[in-house]
């Protein structure tokens, strides 16, 4: 059941690096992360890679496999031909630290800027009441494992480093959408979505949706509705007038 | 020596549920607080918890309350739990769940719009607040976002290698940044250990790479004691096929939602393994068990929902008797019992996991499962109310702390444990820091010595590869200190651990300090060995079978041992000693609970 696979793995650091060829044993049922671990244990003890759960739940082992943003733990070796060369490279949108590990601090900086969840008061008996159907909209986005593959594939930041200042990327646009749809939240983040987090930069090519290992419909269910609500508020004269004279709720 | 230094009131080591909850509590109590974690923020092992948070909120069953939860917890732990921890846990868990909701967590709802509660093994009523089967992710993301919103400092991808003490107690901690390999030290009068468990000492485990027992080991080395390390929980349902996913968890909710266990002959074997201790509350026939899912008042629970130790031992026995699957497991079947829509809705992440990792559609096929090392009940001996260890300024919460779960933990009680005792540890750590403010200082020679020890693997030439030694340790623990144990095996394990210690002292690593996983493993290995030794020594000493500890040569529970804790500590020469200590006496008002609800 075993065979020798050909792997090309990027090795290097911020100052540069190169693809290195390895031949490594593959056994039945293994995933790319198993092969990277075997490389570490047998041929390259200092090969840097992030991983935690190896079950598609923590989103640590993000990389590009044959050029596609993937989780290494969710990429089965059986999806490749035995004579196919498997190329593993670090995520391109983020600066390399070493080998397959990148500096993802940009994401944590954006997360820190998002205005926090602010709940309405509890009912008199101390409970919050919500219908399942209403919590499910936000729950879809709360499935996010923060693997940052959506950020990696988003061309707004993948190809334009300068956009990182003004654009938070799909992960944080759906975080805003999640809060916006949260049945208990009381803060209006629409202006911030547009002005601080760069919602307008997204031109809905849906690349983020395609690479999401959790199957979250980032574009259709999160970003587009958010854009619609921003537009509704900004350009609908009745809403604008209503909000000025306090006769109509702004949401 | 190049060294980055910081000063805080409270340093929390670990950013899983317990660590983040402790940090939030310490911060809110006014302490300057830092969290140090080995991975990126939000990746801790807590994300892998699936089933839910046990809390007697009574949303589905008004009969449920903290007394029933307390009783279930103590019985699940075979009465070896610290009664006070079990009491605090049962009383405070509902408030901890409600507070998560106020921080943004979105739990599944009941028809009345309240937080939904699901069934789990050993719990008398449906009690687990949950979000599908990804409750751990919801918990950690909520705490992570709260931590960020409060502006608490987080040192990510940073490993603590030593706790620093003076003649009074804790003065700080020493570690390195994984990214650069550079050293960092924190001066602090309070340190909260929230480092999780020890699963990476075992070959088949549900645990992530971080579970190397560093908190247990750091505490021991700083002079604290560990309680009941022999109790290691093997979760009954880990994936067994394909080999690359062996050990990955299959949530207990599969059984709570109707899944049943079958052997290779297709028999629902759990009815053959109902212990007398649980006979009164367990169904006798398949018909009664199946009726329970829709009518819990007039029927008793299916035997598949016995506590984890019972189910794991039963599976082990079936496989040993030759009634296992080709890959050495048994079948867990929900496909033939629930509709595909129901399964996908209630168990989305299990559906996804089997589909992606094993190419198995659990709405159509049974799952092949077997026991996997999951949780260590033993841990740092702490004061129940404050989580203070026996060293001034040292606190422990979550899996690294001992006592709460006795000899066996009920599913769902871990996430609530993290919240209840994480908060208590944070509050107590902040208070200790106020009392010792201005009285701690880092000594230069301690820092130099810690740095020298950390760099030793680079100095040696021609030594062994750390990955090989880890593999051999895992094999040793798997073969000799697993689910079923004997005296001869424990003695054999201790001999092998002594040999492994010599090999670890002679490791060498390739490359340089920047993000070097071989080096990181070389520094984790001594922790794993120390913890493994504690487990083996305590398992040798406890001559009975109880909960997560089964001795083939002493197959029954012994009432005398039921009053005894085993305490591991380190002697002056560094050797691990084990001594017996009487169990704390439960007050009569709590003891009455067992009579009134029997």
% of chain A exceeding 90 in pLDDT:
90
Q: How confident is the model at residue B147 (pLDDT cuts 50, 70, 90)?
A: very high
CATH class of B234-372: alpha beta
ipTM of the complex: 0.93
**Residue tagged 């309350």 (tokens):** B65
Query: Once rounded to an integer, what is the mean pLDDT over residues B246-256?
Result: 91
Is the pLDDT at A239 greater than 80? The verdict is no
Domain count, chain A: 2
- Domain boundary residue, one of A57, A76, A102: A102
Smallest Cα distance from A59 to chain B, Å = 7
Q: How confident is the model at residue A250 (pLDDT cuts 50, 70, 90)?
A: very low
User: Are residues A108 and B242, on separate chains, in Cβ contact within 8 Å?
Assistant: no
Is the pLDDT at A199 greater than 50? The verdict is yes
Q: Model-level pTM? A: 0.95
Q: CA B236 to CA B372: how far, in whole Å?
A: 7
Mean of pLDDT over chain B: 95
- Domain boundary residue, one of A102, A122, A156: A102
Q: CA B48 to CA B135: how far, in whole Å?
A: 8
Q: CA B439 to CA B188: how far, in whole Å?
A: 10
**Chain B residues with beta carbon closer than 8 angstroms to that of A110:** none
Smallest Cα distance from B210 to chain A, Å = 7
Classify residue A97: in a domain, yes or no.
Answer: yes
Query: Once rounded to an integer, what is the mean pLDDT over residues A7-33?
Result: 96
Least confident of B336-340, B359-363, B430-434: B359-363
Question: Quick one: pLDDT at residue B447?
Answer: 97
Contact A52, B43 (CB under 8 A): yes
User: Are residues A56 and B244, on separate chains, in Cβ contact within 8 Å?
Assistant: no
Classify residue A250: in a domain, yes or no.
Answer: no
User: Are residues B242 and A30, on separate chains, in Cβ contact within 8 Å?
Assistant: yes
Classify residue A249: in a domain, yes or no.
Answer: no
Residue spans of the domains in chain B: they are 234-372, 452-562
Question: Quick one: pLDDT at residue B242?
Answer: 83
The token duo for A35 is 């092969």
CA angle (B248 as vertex; B494, A49 as ends), nearest 5: 85
Question: What are the pLDDT digits (tens) for B61-86?
Answer: 999 999 999 999 999 999 999 999 99
Contact B547, B275 (CB under 8 A): no
State which residue of chain B sits closest to A117, comparing Cα positions.
B104
Q: How confident is the model at residue A177 (pLDDT cuts 50, 70, 90)?
A: very high
Question: Quick one: pLDDT at residue B296?
Answer: 86
Classify residue A173: in a domain, yes or no.
Answer: yes
**Chain A residues with beta carbon closer than 8 angstroms to that of B98:** 126
Mean of pLDDT over chain A: 94
Query: Once rounded to an integer, what is the mean pLDDT over residues B494-503?
Result: 97
Which CATH architecture group holds B452-562?
A: Up-down Bundle (1.20)
In this structure, what are the phi and psi dihedrals at residue B534, rounded to the nearest 5 degrees? -60, -45
Same domain, A46 and A22: yes
Output the 3-class SS for A33-93. Answer: HHHHHHHHHHCCCCCCCCCCCCCCCCCCCEEEECCEEEEHHHCEHHHCCCCCEEEEECCCC
Question: With an 8 Å Cβ cutoff, is A45 touching chain B?
Answer: yes
Residue A130 sits in which domain range? 105-244
Contact A139, A130 (CB under 8 A): no
Question: With an 8 Å Cβ cutoff, is A9 touching chain B?
Answer: no
- Which of 135-154 (A) contact B at CB < 8 A? 135, 138-139, 142-146
Q: Which of A40, A58, A122 sits opposite B517 (nearest CB)?
A: A40
Smallest Cα distance from A249 to chain B, Å = 23
- Domain boundary residue, one of A102, A120, A138: A102
In this structure, what are the phi and psi dihedrals at residue B371, rounded to the nearest 5 degrees? -65, 145
Q: CA A72 to CA A39: how far, in whole Å?
A: 14
DSSP A205: -
**Chain B residues with beta carbon closer than 8 angstroms to that of A46:** 509-512, 516-519
Is the pLDDT at A251 greater than 80? The verdict is no
**Chain A residues with beta carbon closer than 8 angstroms to that of B358:** 29
Question: Quick one: pLDDT at residue B598?
Answer: 46
Q: What is the distance, to the nearest Å, from the Cα of residue B110 to the centroid of all Cα atoms in its chain? A: 29
Classify residue A112: in a domain, yes or no.
Answer: yes
Same domain, A145 and A237: yes
**Chain A residues with beta carbon closer than 8 angstroms to that of B349:** 57
Which residues of B does the annotation mark as catalytic? 308
Same domain, A64 and A117: no
Classify residue A37: in a domain, yes or no.
Answer: yes
State which residue of chain B sits closest to A33, comparing Cα positions.
B244
């Amino acid at each position: 059941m075993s065979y020798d696979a050909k792997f090309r793995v990027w090795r290097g650091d911020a100052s540069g690096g190169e693809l290195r060829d390895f031949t490594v044993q593959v056994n039945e049922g293994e995933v790319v992360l198993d092969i990277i671990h075997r490389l570490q244990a047998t041929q390259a003890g200092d090969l840097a890679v992030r991983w935690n759960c190896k079950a598609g739940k923590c989103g640590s082992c993000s990389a590009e496999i044959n050029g596609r943003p993937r989780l290494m733990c969710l990429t089965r070796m059986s999806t490749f031909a035995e004579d196919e060369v498997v190329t593993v490279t670090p995520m391109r949108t983020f600066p390399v630290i070493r080998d397959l590990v990148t500096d993802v601090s940009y994401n944590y900086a954006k997360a820190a800027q998002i205005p926090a969840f602010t709940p309405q008061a509890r009912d008199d008996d101390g409970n919050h009441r919500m219908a399942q159907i209403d919590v499910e909209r936000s729950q879809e986005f709360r499935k996010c494992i923060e693997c940052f593959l959506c950020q990696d594939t988003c061309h707004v930041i993948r190809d334009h480093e300068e956009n990182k200042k003004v654009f938070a990327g799909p992960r944080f646009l759906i975080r805003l959408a999640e809060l916006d749809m949260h049945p208990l939240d009381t803060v209006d983040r629409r202006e911030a979505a547009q002005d601080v987090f760069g919602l307008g930069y997204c031109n809905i090519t849906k690349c983020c949706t395609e690479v999401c290992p959790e199957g979250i419909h980032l574009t259709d269910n999160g970003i587009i509705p958010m854009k619609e609500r921003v537009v509704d508020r900004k350009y609908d004269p009745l809403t604008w007038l209503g909000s000025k004279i306090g006769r109509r709720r702004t949401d | 020596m190049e060294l980055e230094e910081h000063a805080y009131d409270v340093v929390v080591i670990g950013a899983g549920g317990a660590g983040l909850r402790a940090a939030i509590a310490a911060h809110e109590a006014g302490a300057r607080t830092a969290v140090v974690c080995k991975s990126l923020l939000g990746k801790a092992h807590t994300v892998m918890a699936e089933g839910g948070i046990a809390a007697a909120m009574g949303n589905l069953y008004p009969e449920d309350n903290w007394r029933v939860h307390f009783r279930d917890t103590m019985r699940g732990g075979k009465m070896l739990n610290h009664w006070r921890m079990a009491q605090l846990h049962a009383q405070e868990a509902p408030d901890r769940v409600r507070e998560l909701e106020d921080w943004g967590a979105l739990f599944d709802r009941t028809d009345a719009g309240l937080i939904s509660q699901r069934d789990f093994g050993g719990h008398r009523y449906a009690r687990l607040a949950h979000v599908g089967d990804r409750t751990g992710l919801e918990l950690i993301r909520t705490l992570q976002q709260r931590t960020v919103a409060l502006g608490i400092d987080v040192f990510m991808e940073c490993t603590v290698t030593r706790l620093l003490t003076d003649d009074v107690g804790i003065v700080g901690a020493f570690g390195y940044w994984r990214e650069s390999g550079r050293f960092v030290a924190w001066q602090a009068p309070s340190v909260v250990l929230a480092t999780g468990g020890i699963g990476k000492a075992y070959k088949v485990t549900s645990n992530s790479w971080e579970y190397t027992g560093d908190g247990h080991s750091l505490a021991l080395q700083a002079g604290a004691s560990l309680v009941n390390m022999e109790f290691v929980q093997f979760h009954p349902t880990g994936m067994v096929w394909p080999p690359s996913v062996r050990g990955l968890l299959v949530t207990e909710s599969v059984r709570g939602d109707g899944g049943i266990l079958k052997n290779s002959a297709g028999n629902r074997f759990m009815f053959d393994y109902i212990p007398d201790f649980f006979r009164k509350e367990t169904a006798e026939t398949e018909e009664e068990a199946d009726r329970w899912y829709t009518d819990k008042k007039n029927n008793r629970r299916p035997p598949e929902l016995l506590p984890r130790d019972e189910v794991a031992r039963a599976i082990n026995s079936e496989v040993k008797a030759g009634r296992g699957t080709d890959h050495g497991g048994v079948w867990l079947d929900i496909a033939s019992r629930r509709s595909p829509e129901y399964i996908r809705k209630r168990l989305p992440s299990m559906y996804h996991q089997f589909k992606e990792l094993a190419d198995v559609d659990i709405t159509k096929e049974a799952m092949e499962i077997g026991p996997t090392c999951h949780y260590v009940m033993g841990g740092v001996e702490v004061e129940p109310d404050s989580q203070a260890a026996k060293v001034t300024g040292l606190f422990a919460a979550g899996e690294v702390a001992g006592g709460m779960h006795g000899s066996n933990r009920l599913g769902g009680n871990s996430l609530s444990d993290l919240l209840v005792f994480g908060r208590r540890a944070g509050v107590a750590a902040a208070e200790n820091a106020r009392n010792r403010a201005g009285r701690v200082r880092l000594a230069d020679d301690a820092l130099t010595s810690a740095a020298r020890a950390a760099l030793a693997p680079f100095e040696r030439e021609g030594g062994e590869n750390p990955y090989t030694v880890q593999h051999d340790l895992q094999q040793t623990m798997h073969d000799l200190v697993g689910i079923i144990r004997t005296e001869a095996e424990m003695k054999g394990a201790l001999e092998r651990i002594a040999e492994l210690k010599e090999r670890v002292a002679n490791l060498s690593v390739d490359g340089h300090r920047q993000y070097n996983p071989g080096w990181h493993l070389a520094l984790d290995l001594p922790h794993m060995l120390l913890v493994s030794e504690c487990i083996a020594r305590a398992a040798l000493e406890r001559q009975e079978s109880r909960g997560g500890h089964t001795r083939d040569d002493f197959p029954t529970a012994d009432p005398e041992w039921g009053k005894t804790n085993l305490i591991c500590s380190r002697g002056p020469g560094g050797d691990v000693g084990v001594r017996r200590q009487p169990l704390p006496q439960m007050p009569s008002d709590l003891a009455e609970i067992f009579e009134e609800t029997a």
